[in-house]
Structure 1
Amino acid sequence: MKRKTLMIMAVLLLLLGAVGAWVAANTVSETRKIWQNDALAQEVMQGRLFAVQKFLAKQAPALPQQSWRRWQSAAKEGGNTAAPVLLWVENVDRARAEDYDELLDWVAAGNHVVLPLLDEESSADAASEVDTGAEGGLMNAQQYRQWLASRLGVRIGTAAAANNKTGAVPAACQAAENQRQQAARATNHREDNKAAPQRLAECAQQLNQIRLPEGRTLAWMAPATQTMLLNSGKTALWQGEGASGSHIVRVAYGQGSVVLLSNWDALAAPQYPPADVSGLNQYDHAYLAAYLAQDKSAVWFVRQLGSPPPIDTAPAWWRLWQAEPLLMGALVLLVAAGVWYLSMRMGALRQLPVPQERYLSEHLAAQGQFLARKPLRGAQLQWLQQQLWQQWQQQWAHWAQMDGQARMQAVCRHTGAPPAVVRLWLQPVPPQPTAAQWLAYLRSHQRILRAKKPSLFQSTR
């Protein structure tokens, strides 16, 4: 049996080895590169201006940089910095009118700021937390548009719809598409070449051309549904021009200037391979960032223009009650039920009396009284009669062949008991004896047990 088991195991090992060799021979291995974009993770942690901050630090290492979470801190701590300073503001959702006014006063002193347009959807969510109509509250979309038109001379419009007619593709769009295809091939990234014409058409629709005063033309790509229009009589230092409208504009204010952007997509962290949405490494976005920072004394980065959200000073239990009234109501009822349960079962404890000791004779007497009161007398007498007959059968081997008279004479002669006492146990006992019969049977049983010859209850062999 052992030899057979070893043979089976050897065959199984050979089969496994053959299968493994076949799999190894038919397995094709190839080296694949996985591209990890650490800049995107850093952008999530440190804000959307992280790529611009790193680019300017590398492009102009001698240019001082400072970062703040809020504009109020920058204005307070950086007040001694000489103009001109370039300020990048990442978010304006929680900005109030006085925040904008304070910022423009700082710009009028000879500084420059880059601002995104207010996201009307996110601003509506932020404004719902405070009273927008009260003095000092957040501006809603309509108030923001009125402020923008009155202070900077810029109106917000809607981007033109895409034109399905095939037209000339700008050289910048074609260069970006070629860069995309080349990066996809370098990284073995699957690219949908059939979608290239659609991407080129969208690029031609959304692309902005910026003509700088120095004579150079830059390509700016930041798709958005909002565009910027100038009031009649208002002249911009430069602005983007495209089929869908202007997505970037620079206007003078006092001794400084304000650059308005539709969004931050054009200055986002680079992606490799390039995505559909543009980034800092595409088109002329990096050049424009460096162009804005030239001849500046410092560059500041601010995460939020507005003030922090109001702090709720109400107690924690009250805020929780307002947020989850049903849960808090159920919790209160549960606590009340627990208090009621404990209060009903706490108080003075009654001391139970010490139980009295009982002797065996008292226990037997109580048991006899219990049996005497219950309809068990007949069963008890039958059991006593059965015990006597078993003893008599052991005493006389021919007990079964003896008649009643012979049995009575034998028992009377052996025990010395009178016939009247023995006769009760030789006859069938009544099933429901009366109290008198019960006592008579017990007395006769005691007389038989106390007979002169106790060998009756001893085994005779």
Structure 2
Amino acid sequence: MSRRRQFLLGAALTLAAGLLGLYLLGRLEPYQETLEHGPAPEARANPYLAAEHFLRRRGLPVQRADDLQPLAELPSAGQTLLLLGDRQHMSPAQAERLLDWAAQGGHLLFVAERLWDEDEQASGDLLFDRLGIQQYQSGQLDDADSEAEAEDAQLEPLEEPNRYPELTQLYLENEEEPAYIDFDTDFHLYDAQNRAHAWANSAAATHMLQLYHGDGLITVLSDAWIWRNERIADYDNAWLLWYLAQDSAVTLLYRADRDGLMTLLLRHFPQALVALGLLLALGLWHVGLRQGPLQQPSSPSRRQLREHLRGCADFLLRRSGQHSLLQGLQQDIQRRARQRHPGFERLGVAEQWQVLSRLTRQPPKAISQAMRPLPKQRLAAADFTRQVAHLQALRNAL
């Protein structure tokens, strides 16, 4: 092919490729697609991460604690402590420490965890029982209370019906409309000692109580799910968090369990634990130390045939027992007797013993003592040796 033809073919292919590219570019349409990767690892590990960021954006200093240790150095005045962790293992001393901290001017907020037990006249929640607050299921409220509320409503002038009965309404002074929060309406808070000065209700129950405690303030909620990452943006949930924590520094507490035994020992007795560890290490070293020099294995060159035979005999004696060795000698004697006296196996026992006596020139008493059936019990060492000697003498004589 000439150069001119090669040039024309290359130009045609280039032109075709360009036209195809222009056609494909004309058919393409740009679009945007958002890929949802779910919550970040930090959000999955911290269910109240959004609440922390929200409070910081509102200008409030926020810190997070995993136990009650920071409470010893946390000032009460100008502080709000959000106790959102599990309190089922809280000790009485820790509960008293929290209430004393609030009485000195702090704002303590915690969540109800247990229902009131009428039989026990207690709920088991140390903070609730000390404050006289009781929690019930909304469906178990007394019918008498409902009837009394209905009678009071008949005496009062008619009001505008509640447009959102499933939401909790919080009324503030100088505000025409209430704030709406979606608490779980399955639970109801009851102030048995009538100490609360503020509260928030839904159509079915009370979900927030506020009461003064010493120089401080205590807020009790029926649940804190409204401030989790997935629900804090609903309704006025975030606003309620800011309203309760405004003008104060906030501490979020996720754990309120008592410290374990090992944690307390490490905190108060570290030197004793180190001494105990060293003592255990020395004891193990002493127990594991060999007593005396190591015994070297015997040289293979000094072993003799007699030692091997003795070792085999000891092994057979331990493995098979006395009766197996003695029966083996008796069977060997009978085999040799059959070779020297044909038809030996068809004779009776007495006749066999007579034949053996004649062949070995041994008295019949020695033959009967050697060839008699063996006893079931184990023989003494001397009797066993004597029996072996008789059998070997008979076998050697054949």
TM-score bracket, shorter-length normalisation = 0.3 to 0.5
TM-score (norm 2): 0.48
Normalised by the length of structure 1, the TM-score is: 0.42
